[in-house]
Structures are given as structure tokens and as C-alpha cells.
Amino acid sequence: MAALAFTACQNAPSQVINMTATPAVLATNNTKVCYEQLSQQLAQAINYPVKVSPTVFATTATIFLEPIALRQANGQRKDGMLLDKPTQFKLELNNQQCVLSQVGNTFKVTLDLCVCQTAQ
């Protein structure tokens, strides 16, 4: 019985899925909903509100989000209150899907409302 199962597996058509991700940028024809989804996913990743401009990921596959510096009531920066490093995100094209991931973290999400193209 085991030999039959092995033979059946060998004869089954193979479905190779390309798991190679390439650096990507957002296509110029993306709509407002793409940037809203991107803002929402970035905010979820860093647990802080994010609003992105239409130029984000326009020319590069990587962005950095810097933490907000805490300030005094007069606007002067509080000393010693900014300890976090910038958070790096990358955009990749994987099987025709835009994939946003946080570098050095397990956060990864498909941006199904966005159109990506290979970064030049």
C-alpha cells in the first residue's frame, strides 16, 4: 500500500509556486484606497497612527518610520525621551502581489488594494 501511495505522488502534476520576492514600488495608478490600506497596515505594525503620502514607495522599495519625539508644552524637545530607532519597512512583489514587511520583525501583510511593480 505504501508503494502505491509513493507512486501516486510521483505521478501527480507538480505545482511550483514562485516564492521569490523582488523589491517593488507602488505603481502610479494606485488609488486613495491603496494609500489608506498602507497607512492602516503601517499603523498596525508600529501601534501608532500613520498617514502616508502618494509619494511613499514611489522610487524606492524601503521606507523608515521615525518615532515621534516627545516635546514640552512650548514645543521644545524633551531630552532623553527618544530612545527608539527608526522602523524599516520594505515593499516586495511576490506572485503579482504587493507584500509589505517590517525588517527585523515577523510583520508581513499583502496589500491587496495596491498595485506594485518591480523596483528599477
C-alpha span between 112 and 95 (Å, rounded): 12
pLDDT at 40: 97
Backbone φ, ψ for residue 16 (5° rounding): -90, 125
| Beta bridge partner(s), residue 99 | 92, 110
User: In which residue ranges of the chain is pLDDT below 70?
Assistant: 1-19, 69-70, 77-84
DSSP code at position 58: S
pLDDT at 11: 44
> Three-state DSSP class for 102?
strand
C-alpha span between 86 and 83 (Å, rounded): 10
C-alpha span between 93 and 70 (Å, rounded): 36
pLDDT at 82: 52
